[in-house]
Structure 1
Amino acid sequence: MDYRAIALPIGRLLILIAGFMLIPATADLVAGNPDWVVFLASALMIACVGALTVAALAGRKFTYRSRETLLFVNAAWLAFSIAGAIPLYGSGLNISFADAFFEAASGLTTTGSTILTGLDNMPPGILLWRSLMQWIGGIGIVVIGIWLLPGLRVGGSQLFAIESSENASKPYGRIEPFLARLLILYAGLTLSCTLLYFLCGMTAFQAINHAMTTVSTGGYSTSDLSFGQFHNIAVYWVAIIFMCASSVPFLVLIRFFERKPLEDTSQIVYFLGTITVASFAVFLTLRSTNDGAPLALFTDSVFHVVSVVTTTGYATDDYLKWGPFFISMFFLLTFLGGCSGSTAGGFKMFRIAVLLNFIHTLLRRMIHPHRVVNTRYSGKPIGSSVIEGVLVFSILYAGTFAAFAAIYSLLGMDLETALSASITALANVGPGVGEIIGPAGNFQSLSDTAKWLLAIQMILGRLEIIAGIVILTPDFWMER
Structure 2
Amino acid sequence: MARKRQKTHSVLRLPLFLLIGGVASFAMWIPAIHALILDDHPTSQSFFYSGILGLMLVILIGLSMGNKVPQYGMPGQLLSLLATFVVLPLFLAVPVSDALGNTRFLNAYFDMVSSITTTGAAIFGDGDRLPSSIHLWRGLVAWLGGFLMLLAASAVLAPLSLGGFEVTARGEPGGVVAAPHMEKSEARQQLVIVFRALAPIYVGLTLALWLLLLSTGGSFTPALIHAMSVMSTSGISGVGGVENATSGLGGEMIMFLFMFFSLSRLTFSSDTLGSESRRLDRDPEFRLGLLLAISVPLMLFIRHWFAALEISAGDGFWLALSALWGAMFTVMSFLSTTGFESAQWQSAQAWSGLETPGMILMGMAMIGGGVATTAGGVKLLRVYALYLNGLGEMERLVHPSSVSGGGKMTKRLQRNGAYVAWVFFMLFALSLAVISTMLSAVGASFEDALILSVAMLSTTGPLTEIAGSGPIALEFLSSPAKLILCVAMVLGRLETLAFIALLSPNLWRS
For Structure 1 versus Structure 2, the TM-score category normalised by the shorter chain is 0.7 to 0.9
CA RMSD across the alignment: 3.3
Match for 1:373 among 397, 400, 404?
Answer: 404
**Which one has a bigger Cα radius of gyration?**
2
Q: What is the aligned partner in structure 2 of residue 75 from structure 1? A: 83
Q: What is the aligned partner in structure 2 of residue 309 from structure 1? A: 335
The offset of 1:12, in angstroms, is 2.3
State the one-letter code of the partner of 2:222. Answer: Q
State the one-letter code of the partner of 2:339. Answer: G
Q: What is the aligned partner in structure 2 of residue 284 from structure 1? A: 302
- CA contact under 8 A between 1:127 and 1:222: conserved in structure 2? yes
1:163/1:16 Cα in 2 relative to 1: closer, same or farther (>3 Å)?
farther
Q: Does 1:64 align with 2:72?
A: yes
Q: Does 1:331 align with 2:348?
A: no
The offset of 1:73, in angstroms, is 2.1
Match for 2:288 among 270, 275, 293?
Answer: 270
Distance, in Å, in 1 between the alignment partners of 2:426 and 2:65 is 40
The offset of 1:466, in angstroms, is 1.3
Q: What is the aligned partner in structure 2 of residue 152 from structure 1? A: none
Q: What is the aligned partner in structure 1 of residue 104 from structure 2? A: 96
- CA contact under 8 A between 1:172 and 1:178: conserved in structure 2? no
The offset of 1:348, in angstroms, is 0.6
Alignment map for 1:226-305 (pairs within 5 Å): 226-230=242-246, 232-244=248-260, 246-254=261-269, 261-262=278-279, 265-285=283-303, 288=308, 290=311, 291=315, 293-305=319-331
The offset of 1:169, in angstroms, is 3.3
Match for 2:28 among 21, 30, 35?
Answer: 21
The offset of 1:325, in angstroms, is 4.0
The C-alpha deviation readout for 1:266-288, integer Å capped at 9, x for no partner, is 11110110111111122333684
Q: Does 1:119 align with 2:127?
A: yes
The C-alpha deviation readout for 1:81-128, integer Å capped at 9, x for no partner, is 222222112112522122111111111111111111363463222011
The C-alpha deviation readout for 1:204-257, integer Å capped at 9, x for no partner, is 22211110111111111012355334482112111211122x21323443369x
The C-alpha deviation readout for 1:7-28, integer Å capped at 9, x for no partner, is 8332222111101111011111
Distance, in Å, in 1 between the alignment partners of 2:18 and 2:66 is 10
Q: Does 1:184 align with 2:215?
A: no
Q: 218-227 vs 21-30, which deviates more?
A: 218-227
1:252/1:117 Cα in 2 relative to 1: closer, same or farther (>3 Å)?
closer
- CA contact under 8 A between 2:368 and 2:458: conserved in structure 1? yes
Distance, in Å, in 2 between the alignment partners of 1:386 and 1:64 is 29
The C-alpha deviation readout for 1:135-173, integer Å capped at 9, x for no partner, is 1111116828x9xxxxxxxx9455786786456733351
The offset of 1:352, in angstroms, is 0.4
Q: What is the aligned partner in structure 2 of residue 204 from structure 1? A: 220
The offset of 1:385, in angstroms, is 5.0
- CA contact under 8 A between 2:155 and 2:194: conserved in structure 1? no
Long gaps (5+) in structure 2: 1-11, 171-175, 183-189
- CA contact under 8 A between 2:235 and 2:462: conserved in structure 1? no
State the one-letter code of the partner of 1:239. Answer: M
Q: What is the aligned partner in structure 2 of residue 214 from structure 1? A: 230
Q: 155-164 vs 99-108, which deviates more?
A: 155-164
Distance, in Å, in 1 between the alignment partners of 2:366 and 2:100 is 36
Distance, in Å, in 2 between the alignment partners of 1:376 and 1:387 is 16
1:6/1:458 Cα in 2 relative to 1: closer, same or farther (>3 Å)?
farther
The C-alpha deviation readout for 1:314-348, integer Å capped at 9, x for no partner, is 12457597542423322322321111121111111
Match for 1:459 among 490, 495, 505?
Answer: 490
Distance, in Å, in 2 between the alignment partners of 1:161 and 1:188 is 29
Q: What is the DSSP-based 3-state SS (H/G/I as helix, E as strand, rest coil) of the residue aligned with 2:476?
A: coil
- CA contact under 8 A between 1:340 and 1:350: conserved in structure 2? yes
State the one-letter code of the partner of 2:286. Answer: I
Calculate percent identity across the aligned residue pairs.
23
Distance, in Å, in 2 between the alignment partners of 1:202 and 1:28 is 20
Q: What is the DSSP-based 3-state SS (H/G/I as helix, E as strand, rest coil) of the residue aligned with 1:293?
A: helix
- CA contact under 8 A between 1:165 and 1:464: conserved in structure 2? no
- CA contact under 8 A between 2:361 and 2:467: conserved in structure 1? no
State the one-letter code of the partner of 1:9. Answer: L
Q: Does 1:133 align with 2:141?
A: yes
Distance, in Å, in 2 between the alignment partners of 1:182 and 1:351 is 24
Q: 285-294 vs 183-192, which deviates more?
A: 285-294
1:436/1:214 Cα in 2 relative to 1: closer, same or farther (>3 Å)?
closer
State the one-letter code of the partner of 2:301. Answer: F
1:118/1:427 Cα in 2 relative to 1: closer, same or farther (>3 Å)?
closer
The offset of 1:301, in angstroms, is 0.9
Q: 444-453 vs 431-440, which deviates more?
A: 431-440
Distance, in Å, in 2 between the alignment partners of 1:281 and 1:115 is 33
Match for 2:114 among 106, 112, 131?
Answer: 106
State the one-letter code of the partner of 1:207. Answer: A
Q: 283-292 vs 260-269, which deviates more?
A: 283-292
The offset of 1:451, in angstroms, is 1.2
Distance, in Å, in 2 between the alignment partners of 1:324 and 1:437 is 11
Q: What is the DSSP-based 3-state SS (H/G/I as helix, E as strand, rest coil) of the residue aligned with 1:413?
A: coil
The offset of 1:47, in angstroms, is 1.9
Q: 83-92 vs 361-370, which deviates more?
A: 361-370
Q: Does 1:396 align with 2:421?
A: no
Q: What is the DSSP-based 3-state SS (H/G/I as helix, E as strand, rest coil) of the residue aligned with 1:218?
A: coil
Q: 60-69 vs 315-324, which deviates more?
A: 315-324
Distance, in Å, in 1 between the alignment partners of 2:105 and 2:30 is 22
The offset of 1:181, in angstroms, is 2.8
- CA contact under 8 A between 1:198 and 1:207: conserved in structure 2? yes
Tell me the TM-score normalised to structure 2 length. Answer: 0.81
Q: 265-274 vs 83-92, which deviates more?
A: 83-92
Distance, in Å, in 1 between the alignment partners of 2:440 and 2:13 is 36
Tell me the TM-score normalised to structure 1 length. Answer: 0.86
State the one-letter code of the partner of 2:121. Answer: S
The offset of 1:435, in angstroms, is 8.0
